[in-house]
Amino acid sequence: MDSYITAIGTAVPQHGFSQLQIASFMAEALQLDEHNRRKLQALYRLTRIDRRHSVLPDYGASPGEYTFFPNTPDLEPFPTVGTRMELYRREALPLALAAVADLYGDEKPPIQPTHLITVSCTGMYAPGLDIDLIQALHLPTSIQRTAINFMGCYGAFNALKTADAFVRADPSARVLIVCLELCTIHFQKKTDEDHLLSNALFADGAAAVLVQSRPDREKPAPAFRMRTFFCDLLTEGKDDMGWIINDHGFEMTLTSVVPTVIRQGIGKALSRLLERGGLAIEDITYYAMHPGGRKILEVIEQQLGIDPAENRFAYDVLRKFGNMSSATVLFVLKEIQTHLLSESGTGNILSCAFGPGLTLESMILEVVNPEVKVKRLKEEVLNSDYAD
């Protein structure tokens, strides 16, 4: 039995800011002198990000007009973990619901899922987002729930693997995945290179995915059949990417060594992924790389021998939204799905993401366009136990 991604929905908060706006906020918050302000602006320009979104309006506000951070020159007293988690709990549900609404579109009544998987690494509370979603969406209280927490940018892959297992075990299963990340609530007032880089990349966003045992013939968008997965650890980079809870928020470690570690390990890992799927790199038509940053995307291209144009969907998401942790790769898949609406193409998608560990998650999806959907559904009926 196969499993298919049949729909993808995405959402970002209403507050959107240009990179230069955010750089100005950071320069004020970090109390940088003119020389370091220019260096910070150069760093932000090099990210290839045009715009990012946040649940906080502060990143576009002038000093003295902040609503979350203190209106003091040094932002003291700096928000604690408790203050940030209170904000997360207030803002998480509305953004998650916006992604689910985008997933279902005009479908009435929406397909009722049998399973719910929530993914987040930027906040936690209990009863959690899963229960809030059940109540807000009027889902059955008996729905099977799974929470995937604190895995970072590759969290969506573990959600998809879990959904794949549910559907293969029970063909009637309909799995709703919701990835919700509020990265910007964890701004750290530090000037070391790791924190400057993290503050230049991360943003808020949510994505929702529906996974079923067959493509939906009524939807014009193509479905994505989940062909194979592969995960590996590049332990030489264990200390170069981390996510730690401290007294004043969650602190990201993201060193400049990460692209080098990825360069050394990605070729072997993706070769094993292709081998497991019985494919060669020539069989890949589209790429859905998690845009962890410009340098990471460039390293992937060098190791796979592809050009930036083939990796354009990742660059588009990076430019428009920045890095939204676990939700980001689903934004990339949504870009591909939207592109295919006008092309009706087929082929395979290679996708990967990285996170603490240093973890490399990867998968191959097969594009199933509307014509192929109908053909496959007819074949399923003919081959079923109910066929004459």
Domain boundaries of the chain, sorted by first residue:
4-212, 223-373
pLDDT in tens, 292-329: 899 999 999 998 899 999 999 999 999 999 999 999 99
Q: Give mean pLDDT, residues 150-179.
A: 97
Fold of 4-212: Peroxisomal Thiolase; Chain A, domain 1 (3.40.47)
Per annotation, catalytic residue among 153, 179, 183, 352: 153
- The reported pTM is 0.93
Note whether 4-212 and 223-373 share their fold. Answer: yes
Q: Is the pLDDT of residue 182 over 70?
A: yes
Closest CA to 281 of 329, 350, 225: 350
Active site residue 352: no
Q: In 277-326, which ranges are continuous DSSP H helix?
A: 294-304, 312-321
Q: Is the pLDDT of residue 380 over 70?
A: no
Helix or strand (DSSP H, E) at 70: none
Distances (CA, A) of 313 to 125, 178, 308, 316, 319: 33, 21, 9, 5, 10
φ/ψ of residue 223, rounded to 5: -95, 160
CATH 3.20.20.70 assigned to domain 223-373? The reply is no
Q: Give mean pLDDT, residues 239-268.
A: 83
Q: Residue 175 in contact with residue 166, Cβ under 8 Å?
A: yes
